[in-house]
């Protein structure tokens, strides 16, 4: 089976539609969410080729296949993250500036800044006394670097 487009995302589906179908999952590392072409295996052992026609990243909950009885859903493995919880706008600006200088991609959930674990960033957070925790957590989308140059 070759998947060329995403059917929908489970967050956009009514609960009764979700509950009536058997679910298989494709477990991906967050870094694999940016790959448009890949070969994957579901948690039931079914091999699937993904070759997306549209340039779009995969997201947790994307439905790769669905019929009246079955569906195949993208799930994401947990990442080793630093979950940063600044106490003030000043702390947020300070750490955002420092991480930006290092070109580290970040994500935001509520009042938390998420970055992939890096011992140097952990040392920086300790030095700046900015609250954080190291956690294994699933992210919904890939960490993506923003391309630019220092011209």
Per-domain residue ranges for the chain? 2-76, 79-137
Tally of residues, the chain = 151
pTM of the model: 0.74
Query: What pLDDT does 139 receive?
Result: 86
Among 24-38, 43-57, 86-100, 135-149, the least confident range? 135-149
Residue 15 has pLDDT above 60, yes or no: yes
Structure tokens at 34: 């940016």
The band of 150, judged by pLDDT with boundaries at 50, 70 and 90, is very low
Query: What pLDDT does 151 receive?
Result: 52
Query: What pLDDT does 10 receive?
Result: 93
Structure tokens at 64: 């790769």
Ranges of beta strands (E only) in the chain are 2-3, 8-9, 22-28, 37-41, 47-51, 62-66, 70-76, 79-84, 107-109, 112-116, 132-137
Among residues 89, 82, 38, 84, the alpha carbon closest in space to that of 64 is found at 38
Among 85-89, 104-108, 129-133, 146-150, the least confident range? 146-150
User: Region 72-94: what's the mean pLDDT?
Assistant: 94
> Domain 2-76: which topology?
HSP40/DNAj peptide-binding domain (2.60.260)
Average pLDDT over the chain, rounded to an integer: 90
Ranges of beta strands (E only) in 21-106 are 22-28, 37-41, 47-51, 62-66, 70-76, 79-84
Looking at domain 79-137, does it have CATH number 3.30.70.790? Answer: yes
> What angle, 0 to 180 degrees and rounded to 10, lies between the N-to-C axes of helices 119-128 and 89-101?
150
Structure tokens at 13: 């589906």
Residue 82 has pLDDT above 70, yes or no: yes
């Amino acid at each position: 089976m070759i998947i060329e487009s995403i059917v929908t995302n489970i967050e956009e589906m009514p609960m009764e539609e979700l509950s009536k179908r058997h679910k298989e999952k494709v477990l991906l590392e967050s870094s694999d969410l940016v790959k448009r072409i890949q070969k994957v295996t579901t948690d039931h052992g079914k091999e699937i080729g993904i070759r997306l026609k549209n340039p779009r990243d995969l997201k947790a909950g994307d439905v790769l296949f669905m019929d009246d009885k079955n569906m195949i859903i993208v799930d994401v493995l947990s990442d080793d993250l630093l979950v940063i919880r600044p106490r003030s706008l000043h702390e947020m600006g300070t750490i955002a500036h420092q991480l930006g200088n290092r070109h580290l991609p970040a994500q935001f959930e509520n009042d938390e800044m998420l970055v992939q674990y890096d011992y140097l960033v952990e040392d920086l957070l300790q030095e700046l006394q900015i609250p954080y925790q190291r956690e294994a957590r699933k992210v919904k989308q890939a960490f993506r670097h923003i391309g630019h140059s220092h011209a």
